[in-house]
Chain A
Amino acid sequence: MERGVGLVASAVAAFFAVELVWAASGKIGVRQKEAEWAASQFVSTGLWAGIAAIVAVVAAVVSLRGDGETKITHLVEVLAALGVSFAAAYTLSAAVEAERANYWDAIHFSSLVWIGFLTALGAAVVSGLASRRGDRPVVVLGWLPGFLVALWVLLWLVTWFEPLGDFIAWIASRWYLATHG
């Protein structure tokens, strides 16, 4: 029973991750000037992301209960959670590219950050616990969730930790000067 719940939850999460990417790809135009994506259309897109995150968390919880799960199920759950996290990252980057100036999207951007971070964290926890149990399939991805969590934390740091912003600006200026004499 638990095994079934984990697999179904993972499948649903993966479906919504794909749905999120699909919605973002189709609706976020990089040159748009009006609120084509952000306002009404994001409601559905954001909803998918939120549902995907919840489902991923369900999968993680089921996984943590553990005993009825097979090793492959753990791997599928972690992959599904990572899929949601990557989908959130993709959507966020497409949205920032398209609508950086539109601050009414702050709530959507923030929700994507939280969804991305929490699903990556969930994947990291599940894979950590599974690895500790010696589930070799999950070991294959063991480092990736942690890496993704670190990336989300880094993104969060960029929003307020000014030395990091200065460092990024420094890289950008060096890159520009490396291509312009």
Chain B
Amino acid sequence: MPAPEPAAAAPFRHGRTLAIVGTIAAFVFVASNSKLAPVARGILEREPHPGLEEEPFFPPYDATTERTLGALRDGLNARAWREATEPTITELDRDRVCIASLYVPMGRGDVGPYTATLSQEGIDSGVAEAVDTIWAQLEPRARTPRNIARSRLKLDCVVGGERPWDQDANYGGVLLDQGLDGIVLRVDGEEPFYWLPSWAIELPVARRRMLRSARRLAREEGGWSKKEAKKASYAAIRTRAYVESEPGGGVIRAVARGNVEGPPLTSEALRHAIAISGRYIARETDERGKVTYHYDDRKDRVEGGYNLLRHAGTTYSMLQAYRISGDQAVLEGAERAIGYFRRKMKEDTKHPGEWFAVEGRRAKLGAIGLGLLMYVEHAKVAPDRAADIELLRGMGRHIERMMLPSGELVSFYDWDGKEKSTRKSIFYSGEAILGLVRLHQLTGEQQWLDVAIKASDFLVHERWVALGIRLHVPPDAWLLQALVELDRVAPDEARADYANALGRSIARLKLLDAELTPPDLLGGEISTLGSLPPTATAGSFGEALSAWARLEARRTPEITRAREVAAKNALFQLRSQLVTANTWYLSNPGRAHGGWRKRMTSGEVRNDHVQHNLSGLFGILALYDDEAPDIGLMVAEAK
């Protein structure tokens, strides 16, 4: 007979059970007190919008809407030109609530919209009333024929049912979709107030603040009292929306999530996108050669800040655009920008014949890397006006000086004895290596290739590797481009494998499943709960992914994985570009035309966002166009 358990061990008799129960309780406690729980609860509560199970993401062409918008346009034109013509249409869907919106771009953020709900009582009178309502809201200065000719009309018709939600359970706005969901507010004694879906993109409004915005606009635009707005009941709505594709009219385009459907991935579409983005940068290059760093397209205002690296990269992309469009204004803009960069360069007094660029007090390695890209591109497109090749060699020698015996490149040059930073940029090395490869393409000199190989081998074999562990393959877009071009003249299996690993690490950040991803987000980057995919990184990753696709096409043409990823990314870039069709809500759409902003809900059009997107599309063009210029062109003399 076994001896009885000693009394001291009694508390541990059910220890395992206690441990399991305790752990589960701890997990439940932590989960319920973290952000995860409400989001998870919100996901469970998310449901399809009622009555729209068969609704396509972008609604098909709708003749009735076109006639309605045409009638509204006729009515506005008649008012603007003081003609007697009254709007006439023959049919209107009486079962739906439709809201007309007029956008008049007046600059400095002043664009409207001026809205009117179309009356369901009489077809002709409904449109006429809407024109009256909109006209009455316009400031006198907006009522001129010129401004009406620049305006855009949009028509939203409510479709499907209404979807109530619990705002208290709407953690991070998870129960509403920015740009897809609108809100209807109802209160006794007032007409319903419709907060339209596209406003979340146009204004823009974060998804968690959409209801708050609706209540505020019900007060400010709908004339409701604060009390009414606060106690109003609310529900989510969806609309079928169409917008005039051109200022003053044009064919209608379906709108979803504040955007129109993008173009297909063709050589023509790519060439057009590259050309207009090149023109955007050239327009934004002033007489001194400085490129607008940050233009806010919602406020129509230039914000502060500058960055010499990005200046050089932007100039490089302008020259790429010139290779496509042959637009003289773009070349002239680029040459002004080269002049600006040249004025920032210094010859190293300690090492005569070596050149670096200074911004403020800092001499960044990346500035010389991108500066080389810029100068070499200029030498390729305008050899007769190119900089002295000795200057470029001096930049190459500076990069070589910045290399440690291990092959590691130092990020900041201590030219004045005041540089304290020990920071090592993730990107400068790749930029410098690509610059050296391009210098080799121009001169054919082996020296630059040798330095580029040594520096890239450090990144491939040693960066992020320690104590037997490779911790991380960073999404280093510049290095991937450099490795792909190096592979053409100095093929190496380890470098090619690492380039593929870089490509795969970037692909993992992307939404690539066409079955599950909304069509407008396909190819975009996985973002945070409150954010739509960024368009800025679609550009930098576009440069990398198109390089990866070129590597794949050269080395393993039987595989198309990289090409598919790059194509989805490029399509996302194309549909994110600011073009006439999708900038109806900007107060100065002509200025933003051709650019890219940080993301759909941001007003920030920064020069490097445009550069990366332009260069990314330039990179993929070679896969869709046999006549496309070679991004890594080896100059004839160098060969």
Q: Which residues of A contact B (CB under 8 A)?
A: 33-35, 39, 71, 100-104, 106-107, 109-111, 113-114, 136-137, 139-144, 156, 159-160, 162, 165-166, 168-169, 172-174, 176-181
Contacts and interface: CB of A to CB of B under 8 A. Distances in A.
A140 B16 contact: yes
Given A106-B464, A113-B471, A140-B19, 20 more contacts: A39-B422, A71-B9, A101-B474, A102-B423, A102-B424, A103-B424, A103-B426, A103-B464, A103-B472, A106-B471, A110-B468, A141-B19, A143-B16, A162-B501, A162-B504, A165-B504, A176-B511, A179-B174, A180-B518, A180-B532
Nearest to A114: B467
A179 B511 contact: no
B15 interface: yes
A114 B466 CA distance: 11
A153 to B, nearest CB: 12
The listed residue with most B CB atoms (<10 A of its CB), out of A39, A104, A107, is A104
Interface in B302-345: none
A174 B319 CA distance: 40
Contact of A180 (B177, B468, B504): B177
A172 B13 CA distance: 42
Interface of B: 9, 12-13, 15-16, 18-19, 23, 39, 42-43, 46, 172, 174, 177, 180, 421-426, 463-472, 474, 501, 504-505, 508-509, 511-513, 516-518, 521, 526-527, 529, 532
B502 to A, nearest CB: 12
Contacts of B470: 159-160
28 contacts: A33-B423, A34-B422, A35-B421, A100-B472, A101-B425, A102-B424, A103-B426, A106-B466, A106-B472, A107-B466, A110-B468, A113-B469, A136-B9, A136-B15, A139-B15, A140-B16, A140-B19, A142-B16, A144-B23, A165-B508, A172-B526, A176-B526, A176-B527, A177-B517, A178-B46, A179-B43, A179-B46, A179-B172
Given A103-B426, A137-B12, A139-B15, A110 B508 contact: no
Nearest to B420: A34
A149 B509 CA distance: 28
A140 B526 contact: no
Contact of A34 (B421, B469, B471, B521): B421
A177 to B, nearest CB: 6
Contact of B529 (A143, A168, A179): A179
Given A110-B466, A110-B468, A140 B177 contact: no
A181 B464 CA distance: 37
Query: Which of A102, A137, A181 has the most chain B CB atoms closer than 10 A to its own CB?
Result: A181
A172 B508 CA distance: 9
Nearest to A101: B426
B529 A109 contact: no
Contact of B180 (A136, A177, A181): A181
Contact of A181 (B15, B177, B526): B177
Contacts of A176: 511, 526-527
A94 to B, nearest CB: 15
A141 B19 CA distance: 7
Nearest to B176: A181
Contacts of B180: 181
A109 B466 contact: yes
Contacts of B421: 34-35
A144 to B, nearest CB: 7
A14 to B, nearest CB: 19
Contacts of B19: 140-144
Contacts of B426: 101-103
Contacts of B467: 107, 110-111, 113-114
A75 to B, nearest CB: 9
**Which of B12, B42, B501, B529 has its CB near the most chain A CB atoms (within 10 A)?**
B12
Contacts of B501: 162
A181 B424 contact: no
A106 B423 contact: no
B15 to A, nearest CB: 4
A34 B423 contact: yes
Contacts of A179: 39, 42-43, 46, 172, 174, 529
Nearest to A104: B424
Contact of B463 (A33, A35, A106, A137): A106
Nearest to A141: B19
A173 B177 contact: no
A110 B467 CA distance: 6
Given A107-B467, A137-B12, A140-B15, A177 B511 contact: yes
B486 to A, nearest CB: 20
